[in-house]
Amino acid sequence: MNKLKDTFGRKFPYIRLSITDICNYKCTYCLPQGYKKTPGDMRSFMTAEEISRLTKALAELGVCKIRLTGGEPTVRKDFFDILKDMKQNSNIPKITMTTNGYRLDKIAKQLHEVGLDGINISIDSLNRETFKKLTGHDRLPEILEGIKILQKLNFKNIKVNAVLLRGINDSHKEFEKFGNFIKDNKIDFRFIELMQTGDNLDYFKKNHVSSKIFKDYLEKNNWVYQTYGKDAGPALNFIHPEYKGKFGLIAPYSKDFCKTCNSLRVTSRGDLRLCLFGNTGISIRHLLQNNDQKEELIDLITKQLHLKKESHYLELGDTGITKNLSTTGG
């Protein structure tokens, strides 16, 4: 039974758990200069043990899905230990992750063996040069190879996310390229509308495009809107009889986006965040120090949920305390 409910009747079966702020990519909209430690912030990332305690408490609260994110989760040396512990000891039915695909060709088999239940891979362009310019890394071929390996292993839940960017991937030609990719590939491809964060205002002004252009494209090309799955989150999904994969859209600026919010976040330093863009966040780390604290932790998380607001106020330019998404895991 899901015990995580807010005062607006929303339920939260889904947690996004950041395990590091560190990212090895330099995505132009997120960390264009690469990851740098915030001056003065001496707090370490949660240890594997702390994460393990947290996960067990979340299971008791009825959480049915945890998505590991970052930063880039795979840069943590103990990434596989954390994942293995969650799969074997937590009782959470689905453990998934979001990754930039770093070394995916090398780790695909291990991900499958550990029993990862789903993977979201960020690929903003299927053009190798553009990908390199956007991320600072010439790694598109190894990511695509990693996807092929996962598919050969019959790994089921593969999603590819791209941030919609003006002049880069927002033309019909680019949409068709992504369409060709999912035509015979059972992969969900979703565009995320670029979000304004504390660090990227100029970039946002230059590069933000409304996701409406993609929605219009889908409707014109006979893609049919599909209703949500139970823990699907705020993506709008579209299907087409001639395509094995689905197209999707994550539009944080749309009017009703927050109504479908079903996730809470825990940052890599152990802060519970009620909204990606909210100003509310408290540390729960002091209650991750020994196994006897589980009841107290559960109580604190449940009480905090009552503070969750109805909506972020992103459309009014209120980015809360989010400097860039590497700190809260996008």
Residues in contact with ligand SAM by the rule CB under 6 A: 23, 29-30, 69-70, 72, 98-100, 122, 161, 163, 192, 194-195, 197, 200, 325-326, 329-330
69/304 with CB nearer ligand SAM: 69
Instruction: State the minimum distance, in angstroms, from the CB of residue 231 to ligand SAM.
Output: 18
130/221 with CB nearer ligand SAM: 130
Instruction: State the minimum distance, in angstroms, from the CB of residue 199 to ligand SAM.
Output: 9
Instruction: Give the CA distances from residue 188 to residues 197, 219, 236, 301, 302, in Å, rounded to whole numbers and listed in that order.
Output: 26, 17, 11, 32, 33
Tokens for 22? 């560190």
Instruction: State the minimum distance, in angstroms, from the CB of residue 290 to ligand SAM.
Output: 30
98/267 with CB nearer ligand SAM: 98
195/266 with CB nearer ligand SAM: 195
Strand 65-69 to 14-18 pairing: parallel
Strand 281-283 to 188-193 pairing: unpaired
298/321 with CB nearer ligand SAM: 321
Residue 284 and residue 57: Cα distance in Å, rounded? 12
Tokens for 5? 């409910």
Residue 99 and residue 107: Cα distance in Å, rounded? 12
Instruction: State the minimum distance, in angstroms, from the CB of residue 159 to ligand SAM.
Output: 10
Closest residue to ligand SAM: CB criterion: 330
Do residues 281 and 268 lie in contact, with contact meaning Cβ atoms separated by under 8 Å? no
17/305 with CB nearer ligand SAM: 17
Residue 148 and residue 154: Cα distance in Å, rounded? 10
Do residues 295 and 254 lie in contact, with contact meaning Cβ atoms separated by under 8 Å? no
CB atoms near residue 243 (< 10 Å) = 19
Do residues 191 and 201 lie in contact, with contact meaning Cβ atoms separated by under 8 Å? no
20's enclosing H/E stretch is none
Instruction: State the minimum distance, in angstroms, from the CB of residue 9 to ligand SAM.
Output: 27
119's enclosing H/E stretch is strand 118-122
Residue 309 and residue 207: Cα distance in Å, rounded? 28
Residue 303 and residue 310: Cα distance in Å, rounded? 16
168/300 with CB nearer ligand SAM: 168
Instruction: State the minimum distance, in angstroms, from the CB of residue 177 to ligand SAM.
Output: 18
Instruction: State the minimum distance, in angstroms, from the CB of residue 111 to ligand SAM.
Output: 14
Place of tokens 């954390």: 82
Instruction: State the minimum distance, in angstroms, from the CB of residue 212 to ligand SAM.
Output: 16
99/262 with CB nearer ligand SAM: 99
